[in-house]
């Protein structure tokens, strides 16, 4: 086959965190970039189960375009498929080219623009993602061990090579704690690029696994007692000259004044934004104490139970602390749209900056061992413990003002449909369902 005549996918990621789109011959991509490809508003209300929410606000009318961003093209011949993986991320626009309220990528763009206007700073980010390989018949191996990585050979090496060729700048592919669990890290990038890369990484991992005869799942919980798969969003700031602007050695934990207020905003709004960053029924099987995920509104230094973790600074070789200093948001998984998740974090942080919220105190320990009064004095609130509770927190919060009413209504309707779909399933069945879907 002449792979020079392959198809290119122009894609958008919806509120169910599913990447969907249209395809054109690669040779026609420039023509498509001029006016985009057809799309339908009601597609925003497609559930992960393949149905459309019955009472969605879009109905059967209306037309949109997916306008490809040629700077967000990711191409590799190394997934094992007969033709190249060729994906271009796009924006959903109206027929006159203006942004559409339901475009999740545009949602993030607007949040980043508002943050820069308010502070003069830009957000740098990366998504650290965990997944499991299924149907492999691989032998048992110890967590984090070399054999756990090598037993899947040549999958890890081929994955790293495919990601590198696609341009997502991978840093590590490693065996994780869970059974057949792996983690991918990639280099920090401007925040929009980071979210694009998160989408691309998921698609390349799944395609490569399929070509091995396996399945890759990014589900939050493959079984009630299994180790969960999280998505950790790392963020930092740079100024107009590109200099790091997150670190201040005189601030508690090393946080600059802006970073401290940003973190305070996230913690203040965290119960409300949880369903935007951990967006499914099984997400809340993972967000429990003593599971190395998150369960309270909690800022800590190098503590993996915290919701916000100040990452370690390596001083070997006199490395510059300011260039490596970053904060990790841990209340996230791959059932959340990466653009929506990062936009929610940025909006919450921006509110902290604009409101001049007080610098949050660092906490170390077990919130469960504190009295209610002690937790309250330290600002430690339990996160929502179900998707329904999380939706209630969102709809009863100031965070609703950050989103177009149509997008918010679509999100709530979609997640309500997921809750109803799972209402009569036990936890094992829910985990099995989402393992297949994600």
pLDDT at 302: 83
Same-domain check for residues 28 and 119: no
65: Cβ contacts below 8 Å, ≥ 6 apart:
35, 36, 37, 38, 39, 92, 93, 94, 95, 97
Name the domain boundary from 34, 65, 99. Answer: 99
pLDDT at position 2: 53
pLDDT digits (tens, 9 = 90+) for 59-80: 999 999 999 999 999 999 999 9
Among 99, 118, 147, the domain-final residue is 99
Give the three-class secondary structure for 382.
strand
Give just the sign of the alpha carbon dihedral 212, 218, 222, 226.
positive
| 129 strand-pairing partners | 184, 231
Kindly give, in sequence order, each residue whose CB lies less than 8 Å from that of residue 376, ignoring residues fewer than 6 positions away: none
Tell me the sheet residues that pair with 90.
Answer: 68
35 and 174 belong to one structural domain? no
Q: Where among 40, 73, 99 does a domain terminate?
A: 99
Instruction: Let me know whether 48 and 145 are in one domain.
Output: no
> In the prediction, which pLDDT does 4 show?
62
pLDDT < 70 regions, the chain:
1-4
- 357 and 274 in one domain? yes
Give me the CATH number covering residue 68: 3.10.20.70
The H or E element that residue 71 is part of is strand 64-76
Task: Tell me: do 169 and 227 sit in the same domain.
Answer: yes
Main-chain dihedrals φ then ψ at residue 179, nearest 5 degrees: -65, 125
Q: Please tell me whether residues 303 and 415 are part of one structural domain.
A: yes
CATH number of residue 281's parent domain: 3.30.590.10
Give residue 1's pLDDT. Answer: 47
Same structural domain, 235 and 382: yes
Confidence (pTM): 0.96
Which run of H or E residues covers position 277? helix 257-277
How many other CB atoms are there within 10 angstroms of residue 411's CB atom?
25
Task: Examine the domain organization and report whether 143 and 28 are in the same domain.
Answer: no
Residue 215 is predicted with a pLDDT of 97
Asked whether residue 25 falls in the same domain as residue 41, the answer is yes
Residues 45 and 186 in one domain: no
Residue 323 structure tokens = 């260039």
Query: 55 — alpha (psi -120 to 50), left (phi > 0) or beta?
Result: alpha
How many domains are contained in the chain? 2
Full domain range(s) for residue 417? 107-437
pLDDT in tens, 187-225: 999 999 999 999 999 999 999 999 999 999 999 999 999
Residues 58 and 199 in one domain: no
> Do 60 and 128 reside in the same domain of the chain?
no
């Amino acid at each position: 086959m002449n792979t020079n005549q392959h198809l290119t996918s122009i894609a958008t990621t919806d509120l169910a965190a599913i990447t969907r789109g249209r395809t054109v011959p690669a040779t026609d991509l420039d023509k498509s970039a001029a006016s985009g490809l057809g799309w339908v508003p009601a597609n925003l209300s497609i559930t992960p189960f393949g149905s459309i929410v019955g009472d969605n606000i879009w109905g059967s009318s209306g037309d949109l375009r997916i306008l490809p961003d040629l700077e967000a093209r990711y191409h590799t011949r190394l997934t094992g498929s007969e033709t190249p993986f060729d994906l271009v991320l796009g924006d959903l626009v109206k027929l006159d080219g203006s942004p559409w309220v339901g475009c999740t990528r545009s949602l993030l763009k607007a949040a980043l623009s508002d943050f820069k206007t308010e502070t003069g700073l830009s957000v740098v980010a990366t998504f650290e993602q965990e997944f499991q390989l299924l149907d492999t018949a691989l032998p048992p191996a110890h967590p984090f061990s070399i054999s756990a990585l090598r037993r899947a050979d040549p999958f890890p090496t081929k994955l790293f090579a495919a990601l590198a060729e696609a341009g997502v700048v991978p840093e590590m592919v490693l065996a994780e704690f869970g059974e057949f669990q792996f983690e991918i890290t990639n280099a920090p990038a401007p925040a929009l690029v980071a979210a694009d890369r998160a989408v691309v990484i998921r698609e390349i991992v799944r395609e490569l696994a399929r070509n091995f005869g396996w399945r890759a799942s990014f589900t939050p919980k493959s079984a009630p007692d299994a180790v969960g798969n999280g998505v950790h969003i790392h963020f930092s700031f740079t100024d107009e000259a590109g200099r790091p602007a997150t670190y201040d050695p005189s601030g508690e934990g090393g946080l600059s004044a802006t970073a401290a207020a940003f973190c305070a905003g996230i913690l203040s709004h965290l119960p409300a934004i949880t369903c935007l960053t951990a967006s499914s029924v099984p997400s809340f099987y993972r967000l429990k104490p003593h599971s190395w995920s998150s369960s309270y509104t909690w800022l800590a230094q190098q503590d993996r139970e915290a919701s916000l973790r100040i990452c370690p600074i390596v001083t070997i070789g006199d490395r510059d602390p300011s260039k490596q200093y970053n904060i990790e948001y841990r209340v996230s998984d791959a059932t959340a749209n990466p653009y929506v998740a990062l936009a929610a974090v940025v909006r919450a942080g921006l509110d902290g900056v604009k409101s001049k919220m007080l610098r949050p105190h660092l906490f170390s320990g077990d919130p469960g061992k504190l009295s209610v009064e002690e937790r309250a004095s330290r600002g430690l609130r339990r996160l929502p413990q179900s998707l329904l509770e999380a939706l209630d927190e969102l709809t009863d919060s100031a965070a609703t003002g950050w989103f177009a009413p149509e997008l918010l209504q679509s999100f709530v309707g979609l997640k309500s449909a997921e809750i109803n779909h799972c209402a009569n399933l036990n936890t094992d069945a829910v985990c099995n369902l989402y393992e297949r879907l994600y």
